[in-house]
Amino acid sequence: MLFMEEWRKNRLFSPFVMELLIIMFVVEFVKGALLLTILPVYMKTSLGASAFIIGWTLAAQYIGDNVLRTPVGWIIDKLGYRTTMLTGVLMTFVAVILIATTAQFSWMIIGCALLGLGTAPLWPCVITGTTEVAGDDGKATIMSVVYMAWLSGVGLGPVAINFFVGENHYSSAFRLLIGCMTVVVLVALMLPRREAGLQGKSVPKAEIKSGSRASFWQRVSVYLSEVRRSMNVSPLLFPAMFAQTFALGILTPILTLYAKEVLKLSSFQYSMFLIAGGAVTVICLVPMGKIVDRIGIRPFLVIGFSLSAAVLLCFTFAKSMVLLYVLVAVLGIGYAFIIPSWNALIASAIPPEKRGAVWGFFLTIEGLGMIVGPIVSGKLWDVYGYHAPFLMSGFVLVLLLVLQMFISIPKKGMVR
């Protein structure tokens, strides 16, 4: 018993997993600071952009991210983690420098698109690597750890960057972000070359031929066959994956605008606002993940979608700041229920021999929601006012609450 516990501990906190989590945290710290704090306010106040234009600018990042997610999964399986991740973080480094050194609207869009292209390997690499290490018995737990690193970065980025942003002065903030990306590049250099990416398997001779056209199409055929093998899950899972990220994407470009323009919060108050929800989620994630692994997925999906939908539907109608902080905390709890259970459901549908390829395909579907969400959100804000994006996000979660009841959960996705 003691041996098994020590073995599990060593697997989940091995140097490889810790390197992936550090990269996840720091990159998301940089993205959160840029996308949630710096760019929306800068473009609104300095460039005079509408919410719709801001939404398109942020969507450029998600478009760049999503374009490469499916092929990146295939590349991970063939080339391993170091080459794939290092290429991505170097592109991200260049994107941050570009955004930091230009004030032109068009270059902001290009920089955001490049940021997306650079961060495309992040989720496929991290999820593929960590779920491979965790095994079937620890899917929800390891996904909780991954999302804890993600949420910590996304949450701390917008909060911490407020202390480096002066009155229309962003030089200190950009220096911090460039320093963060320097750390990420160094950590990426320590990732394994091919062993983890190949999952301990030998590569067939047909797959290591270089410069052969037949070999290329053979690889494409193998990849597509692996994707098709994942289709034995409920067909409702695919629109549900889109809807889940669509609901989140709706909130991305308007959270800061709502806090600054409607609630009139100071930078410090807004930071506390983010902490109220993010800290609750981070604290609850790992315990929730362990419980999901022991009890099952369905009850946590029902509770999580119900709580989150209820908060979003009434959020903009609450006037008391105390009540708003309570609602944000409840929303954090709701997502602490959703994240490990939802991702354990998705992970249970992944063929173990080709995690990278199929995770990349699934993440592409989820990424579409993050592309469409900000665009729809900006238009809703401009045309119907600030209530509309929150109501739309809440109604989508209600739809998901109903939809998930008809999605079958494979037995291997539930650990008793």
End-to-end CA distance of the chain: 17
Q: Indicate the fold that domain 10-196+213-413 takes in CATH.
A: Growth Hormone; Chain: A; (1.20.1250)
Among the listed residues 188, 218, 213, 214, the one whose alpha carbon sits nearest the alpha carbon of residue 203: 218
pLDDT at residue 139, rounded to an integer: 62
Q: How far apart are CA 227 and CA 333, in angstroms?
A: 33
Q: What is the pLDDT of residue 38?
A: 79
Q: At what angle do helices 355-384 and 387-403 cross, to 10 degrees?
A: 140
Q: Nearest Cα to 340, choosing from 132, 128, 124, 145?
A: 145
Average confidence (pLDDT) per 10 residues, the chain, 416 residues: 44 74 90 82 70 76 74 70 83 89 78 87 77 64 75 80 71 88 89 52 38 52 60 76 89 79 78 77 79 82 92 87 88 87 77 62 78 84 88 93 80 41
Residue with tokens 């996904």: 143
Q: What is the pLDDT of residue 232?
A: 62
8 Å CB contact between 57 and 39? yes
Q: What is the DSSP letter of 193?
A: S
Q: What angle do CA 410, 413, 414 make, to 5 degrees?
A: 105
CB contact at 8 A, 406 and 236 = yes
Q: Would you say the C-alpha torsion 145, 97, 368, 121 has a positive or negative sign?
A: negative
Q: Where are the domains of the chain?
A: 10-196+213-413
* CA torsion angle 13 14 20 25 (round to 10): 30
Token pair 């234009």 is found at 53
Q: Which position has the token pair 């098709």? A: 228
- The span from the CA of 272 to the CA of 402, in Å, is 33
Centre a 10 Å sphere on the Cβ of residue 306 and count the other Cβ atoms it contains.
15
DSSP secondary structure of 207-255: GS--S-HHHHHHHHHHHHHHHHHGGGS-TTHHHHHHHHHHHHHHHTTTH
Query: Looking at residue 229, what is its pLDDT?
Result: 57
CB atoms near residue 416 (< 10 Å) = 7
Q: Which of 110, 57, 65, 117 is nearest to 90 (CA)?
A: 117
